[in-house]
Amino acid sequence: MKTLIAILCLTVSGVLNAAPRIEGLSDLRALERKVKAVVKDQTDATISLVSPKSGSSGSGVIVSADGLILTAAHVTAGSKEMTVIFPDGRQERARVLGANDTRDASMAQLIGAGPWPFAEIGNSDELVVGDFVVAMGHPKGFDPTRRPPVRFGRIMTRGEYGFITTDCTVVGGDSGGPLFDLEGRVVGIHSHIAKDRKINNHAGISGYVRSWDKMRKGDVWGRLGGIDRDEKRPVLGLVLSNENSVMSAVKVPEKSPAYAAGLRVGDEILKVADEIVDDPTEMRDVLIDLEPGDEVGVAVKRGEERKTFIVKLAALGDVYELYLR
């Protein structure tokens, strides 16, 4: 946890120069023009989603001409099909695809040929504290008297599992709706809020990108609210130490998938699934896009040698006993 905080601080100090500056009215006017353009271009892709079974309602955003919808996992949970309502009142149907519950991310597919109005996907990894963003959605459900209300705000901080905190106020019914950058690209999906109006949390779009194929295929995995104590959490099956920014294996039980793949005590972990990992939290966050049974490449440094092993992930509950011996 301490390492995580240290990393956040680093991000912030590295960012100080990058946060957008507002030095006068002309900067505000330029910003306003961009916000208005985002609203004009992206409103039609911001849809309301209603569960035909429970009547519960959320929002979503269409991200391809053939009708792929991104929304929140807790909006589609328990539904096979959703009613889609466009801002103009037009009604269509969508089939629910997969979800990564840890990221509160899910997908649905519009039924029908299209082409549908859609928004481009952005990159939430590039966002920095202070970046301006625009939120849309259907707060408190679809309302025929208005289009999706526009909310404007900034990135306030970054959270775990790729979540982004902004001061764009969202409320029930907005869940699953899009957060746009100033170029009108989707960078987040509304997920949850605190009473503090400055804390509105959005699932970062990069998490969707990492889980894309699995979600599209219809896989549902992970756990809402975090997976630390989830016995189904995918793990390599080794115990790590993290000293002086060096993460290495201190215990690799003989019956673990890591041992079977060839990993040994003393190996320094460099990359998992092609992503550089500096500490156990980062490794966990890479693994949340995968499931037990999936195979993942682990790049290590052993002495002066660099090696890559293919590990078949196990569920935490299945290997936990090995750690204790």
Contact set for another protein, span 272-291 (CB under 8 A): none
Which CB contacts under 8 angstroms, 24+ apart, belong to 17-20? 18/128, 19/128, 19/129, 19/130, 19/131, 20/130, 20/131, 20/132
Q: Does 173 bind another protein (CB under 8 A)?
A: yes
Give the footprint of another protein on residues 68-87 (CB under 8 A). 74-75, 83, 85
Best CA proximity match to 180, nearest among 238, 127, 114:
127
Q: CB 130 → another protein: shortest distance, Å?
A: 5
Give the footprint of another protein on residues 137-156 (CB under 8 A). 139-142, 144-147, 149-154, 156
Where does this chain touch another protein (CB under 8 A) — which range of 29-37, 116-124, 235-243, 248-256?
A: 29-37
Where does this chain touch another protein (CB under 8 A) — which range of 15-23, 245-253, 273-281, 298-306?
A: 15-23
Q: Which is nearer to another protein, 36 or 217 (CB)?
A: 36
Q: Does 13 bind another protein (CB under 8 A)?
A: yes
Q: Does 231 bind another protein (CB under 8 A)?
A: no
Token output for 189: 């999906």
In angstroms, the CA 132 to CA 325 distance is 51
**Contact yes or no for 126/164 (Cβ under 8 A):** no
Q: Name residue 17's amino acid.
A: N
Burial code (b: 16+ CB inside 10 Å, e: under 16) for 249-284 equals beebbeebbbbebbbeeebebbbbbeeebebbbbbb
Q: Which is nearer to another protein, 155 or 261 (CB)?
A: 155
Token output for 296: 């993942």
Q: Is 2 helix (H, G, I), strand (E, B) or coil?
A: helix
Residue 259 CB partners (closer than 8 Å, separation 6+): 237, 238, 252, 253
Q: CB 320 → another protein: shortest distance, Å?
A: 22
Q: Does 117 bind another protein (CB under 8 A)?
A: no
For 94, phi and psi rounded to 5 degrees? Answer: -135, 145
Taking CB under 8 A as the criterion, the residue among 1, 2, 54, 244 binding another protein is: 54
Q: Does 169 bind another protein (CB under 8 A)?
A: yes
Q: Which is nearer to another protein, 104 or 279 (CB)?
A: 104
Where does this chain touch another protein (CB under 8 A) — which range of 129-137, 241-249, 260-268, 295-303?
A: 129-137
Q: CB 55 → another protein: shortest distance, Å?
A: 5
